[in-house]
Amino acid sequence: MVSSGQTLIEAAHLLRQAGATRIEALATHCLARTADLARMEEAGIAALRFTDSVGRSGGSISLASLIAQAIREHGWQE
């Protein structure tokens, strides 16, 4: 889960020091504000992808089909 993004920013700095040339991140939930997302970009995070679990737009990975598939696989019907 990403809230302020501070942990990702710190990780990005360490990855750059270790020689990373591109940094991308993936999160289940993104609660970050627009200003937080800008700070992550400034820290060198090229892409942040996250699910639509909290309704934030942009970079979203839809959970609807995954949840529907899990319901079907467990024998639950509409």
- Report the side by side order of strands in the sheet with 45-51: 23-27, 45-51, 60-61
The more confidently predicted of residues 16 and 63 is 16
In terms of pTM, does the model score above 0.85? Answer: no
Evaluate whether residue 78 is within a structural domain.
Answer: no
pLDDT tens sequence across 4-26: 999 999 999 999 999 999 999 99
Burial tier of 56 (Cβ tally within 10 Å: 0-12, 13-18, 19+):
middle
% of the chain residues with pLDDT over 70: 96
Report yes or no: 49 and 29 within 8 Å, Cβ to Cβ. Answer: no
The per-residue pLDDT for 63 is 87
Evaluate whether residue 1 is within a structural domain.
Answer: no
- Kindly report the CATH number assigned to the domain that includes residue 25: 3.40.50.2020
pLDDT tens sequence across 29-43: 999 999 999 999 999
The per-residue pLDDT for 78 is 57
